[in-house]
Amino acid sequence: MENPDRSQLHPAYILHSRPYSNSSLLVEIFTASNGRFPGIAKAVRSRKSGKAALLQPFIPLLINWSGRGEVKTLSVFEQNGQAMTLGGKALYCGFYINELIMRLLERADAHSSLFHYYQECLEGLAVSTELESVLRRFELKLLNELGYGLNLDREAETGAPVDPEYYYQYELEKGPVVAKKDSYQAIKGSTLMALQNELPLSDNGIKEARYLMRRVLAFYLGDRPLKSRELFRVL
């Protein structure tokens, strides 16, 4: 990997990494140009290499690869800036967004904007004390990029603007419908508007937004639970 042609290198992150054969790694790669795809990094776990530490989540990389099949062979990889320092709950949030991408984004489906949103989310997790707001923004942008964008500012039945003082029941793939305050999973209009406009959420709004996004994501994720959610339960 001497003197790579930098014009041929692609910004990337590793979403997941595990040992492969005696000295290699099998990695799930996320790029702006080619979406996500599996790759093999050969001989990086050998004592002489010492390069396996680079192929871990949350480290910005520049990479190149070869191969015609689905699984590519990493030919070049180097660090591209400072690694994101995530600890405690922020680290679990990082694993969570990685798992969302792996579960919802089809392989070889490039979304350059989503790559930017992902990097933006990691940066937010590294410095913000409002982790829930950072996650909600990313979840909404992810769904929008994949064609599942939510209608948050218009009533589903009438098309009228959402009223910040009303309460709503969110109907999947439709939008908000006026409901009573004590209705099951009722969401205040002000919470919907805050999500729509990326504004700070109230304490109760944080809970409402979390319940809403869990319902919506469960619809698209299917029955298999997210492994990263178990980490939050342990925490």
pLDDT, average across residues 215-225: 92
**Is residue 1 included in any domain, yes or no?**
no
**Is residue 160 included in any domain, yes or no?**
yes
- Return the pLDDT at 90: 95
Residue 227 CB: number of other CB atoms within 10 A?
Answer: 11
Instruction: Indicate whether 43 and 157 sit together in one domain.
Output: no
Pick from 79, 109, 136: which residue ends a domain? Answer: 79
The residue that leads in pLDDT, 136 or 8, is 136
Exposed/middle/buried for residue 105 (C-beta within 10 Å: 0-12, 13-18, 19+): buried
Instruction: Indicate whether 100 and 213 sit together in one domain.
Output: yes
Looking at every residue in the chain, the average pLDDT score rounds to 92
> Distance between CA atoms of 200 and 136, rounded to whole angstroms?
11
> Distance between CA atoms of 59 and 163, rounded to whole angstroms?
42
> Distance between CA atoms of 180 and 187, rounded to whole angstroms?
10
Instruction: Indicate whether 100 and 212 sit together in one domain.
Output: yes
- Return the pLDDT at 3: 57
- Return the pLDDT at 6: 64
**Is residue 221 included in any domain, yes or no?**
yes
Whether residue 111 contacts residue 31, with contact meaning beta carbons closer than 8 Å, is answered with no
Whether residue 23 contacts residue 45, with contact meaning beta carbons closer than 8 Å, is answered with yes
**Is residue 131 included in any domain, yes or no?**
yes
Exposed/middle/buried for residue 113 (C-beta within 10 Å: 0-12, 13-18, 19+): exposed
- Return the pLDDT at 235: 58
What residues have CB less than 8 Å from 36, skipping those under 6 apart? Answer: 15, 28, 29, 30, 101, 102, 105, 107, 108, 109
Instruction: Indicate whether 61 and 149 sit together in one domain.
Output: no
- Return the pLDDT at 137: 97
Query: Which residue reads 């205040």 in tokens?
Result: 188
- Read off the pLDDT of residues 62-85 as tens digits, 9 standing for 90 and up: 999 999 899 999 999 999 988 889
Instruction: Indicate whether 103 and 212 sit together in one domain.
Output: yes
Show the domain range for 170: 89-234
CA 19 to chain CA centroid, Å, is 23
| β-sheet with 175-179: strand ranges across | 175-179, 167-171, 187-188
Instruction: Indicate whether 217 and 112 sit together in one domain.
Output: yes
What's the N-to-C CA distance of the chain in angstroms?
40
User: For the chain, how many structural domains are there in total?
Assistant: 2
Query: Residue 205 pLDDT > 70, yes or no?
Result: yes
Instruction: Indicate whether 66 and 94 sit together in one domain.
Output: no
Closest CA to 197 of 157, 156, 144, 137: 137
Instruction: Indicate whether 137 and 214 sit together in one domain.
Output: yes
Query: Residue 1 pLDDT > 50, yes or no?
Result: no
Instruction: Indicate whether 25 and 94 sit together in one domain.
Output: no
CATH of the domain at 105: 1.20.1440.120
Pick from 57, 79, 101: which residue ends a domain? Answer: 79
* pLDDT grade for 182, boundaries at 50, 70 and 90: confident
Instruction: Indicate whether 133 and 26 sit together in one domain.
Output: no
**Is residue 94 included in any domain, yes or no?**
yes
- Return the pLDDT at 197: 95
> Distance between CA atoms of 63 and 39, rounded to whole angstroms?
11
Pick from 29, 46, 79: which residue ends a domain? Answer: 79
What residues have CB less than 8 Å from 70, skipping those under 6 apart? Answer: 37, 38, 107, 108
Instruction: Indicate whether 96 and 69 sit together in one domain.
Output: no
pLDDT, average across residues 108-120: 96
Query: Residue 49 pLDDT > 80, yes or no?
Result: no
Q: What percent of the chain has pLDDT over 90?
A: 78
CATH of the domain at 73: 2.40.50.140
Instruction: Indicate whether 104 and 160 sit together in one domain.
Output: yes
